[in-house]
């Protein structure tokens, strides 16, 4: 097989794979007792739905979530989850709802990163004519599929490292704020005690009265 034809075949396979899935990487902030929902459409039954989320900051890094199908039936939910990575099958055509709820927190906002991906499983089609570059095309598809899997694993590892970094930064920032306010309160307490002692001593030596005169 000539090199230009091989490159052209690789481009066609890559273009084919890129049209099999669409995804949205988003970040949302939830106030205390707030519930937000996002939606994704499934065009035909049997499509795969990938759902990933991770709480980046806020409180104990946990959140409530649920996923509903077009019939408003809950197909997956969780309570006080820190992160999750799920693959579901959309058996019903229509709009699926992905909701987060910050109900357990009364003071802290939560920052959540998430991906929603809807994809069709690739199915190989037989060549138009028997023996027509079928072996080359199959080998090329296998290579592209393996490469796609490796890229997805790298992307997942990047998300995990990003989440760990954000959580570590949030913990450090929270600890720094607590130390700052503790130092401020400690300083105010020392100043208050010093002022109170001076006032007490001044009152003791300057207080007038006949029974205190020498």
DSSP string, 165-177: HHHHHHHHHHHHH
Minimal CA–CA distance to 161: which of 198, 73, 153? 153
Look at 40-44, 125-129, 163-167 and tell me which has the smallest mean pLDDT: 125-129
Q: Which residue has the tokens 């954000």?
A: 166
pLDDT at 81 over 70: yes
Q: Where are the alpha helices (DSSP H) in 94-133?
A: none
CA distances from 4 to 14, 139, 142 (A): 15, 17, 19
The sign of the torsion formed by the CA atoms of 117, 120, 123, 127 equals negative
CA–CA distance, 208 with 188 (Å, rounded to integer) = 31
Backbone angles phi, psi at 194, to 5 degrees: -65, -45
CA–CA distance, 49 with 143 (Å, rounded to integer) = 24
Beta bridge partners of 11: none
State percent of the chain over pLDDT 90.
21
State percent of the chain over pLDDT 70.
75
CA–CA distance, 85 with 96 (Å, rounded to integer) = 17
Q: Which pLDDT belongs to residue 211?
A: 52
**20, 119 contact by CB (below 8 A):** yes
Q: What count of other Cβ atoms lies within 10 Å of the Cβ of residue 54? A: 23
Q: Which pLDDT belongs to residue 136?
A: 54
**37, 98 contact by CB (below 8 A):** yes
Q: Which residue has the tokens 């030596």?
A: 205
Average pLDDT across the chain, whole number: 77
Minimal CA–CA distance to 78: which of 114, 27, 123? 114
Tokens read off for 210: 């006949």
More confident residue, 85 or 173: 85
Q: What is the pTM of this model?
A: 0.58
Tokens read off for 21: 């899935």
């Amino acid at each position: 097989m000539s090199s230009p034809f091989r490159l052209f075949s690789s481009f066609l396979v890559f273009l084919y794979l890129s049209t099999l899935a669409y995804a949205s990487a988003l970040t949302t902030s939830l106030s205390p007792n707030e519930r937000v929902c996002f939606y994704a459409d499934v065009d035909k039954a049997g499509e795969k739905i990938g759902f990933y989320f991770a709480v980046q900051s806020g409180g104990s890094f946990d959140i409530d979530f649920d996923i509903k199908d077009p019939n408003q039936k809950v197909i997956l939910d969780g309570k006080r989850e820190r992160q999750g990575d799920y693959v579901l099958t959309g058996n019903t055509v229509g709009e699926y709802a992905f909701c987060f709820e910050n109900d357990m927190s009364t003071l802290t906002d939560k920052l959540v990163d998430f991906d929603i991906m809807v994809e069709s499983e690739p199915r190989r089609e037989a060549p138009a004519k028997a023996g027509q570059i079928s072996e080359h095309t199959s080998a090329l598809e296998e290579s592209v599929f393996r490469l796609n899997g490796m890229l997805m694993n790298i992307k997942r590892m990047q998300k995990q490292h990003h989440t760990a970094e954000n959580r570590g930064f949030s913990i450090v920032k929270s600890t720094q704020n607590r130390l700052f306010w503790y130092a401020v309160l400690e300083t105010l307490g020392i100043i208050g005690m010093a002022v109170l002692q001076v006032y007490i001593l001044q009152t003791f030596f300057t207080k007038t009265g006949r029974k205190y005169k020498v």
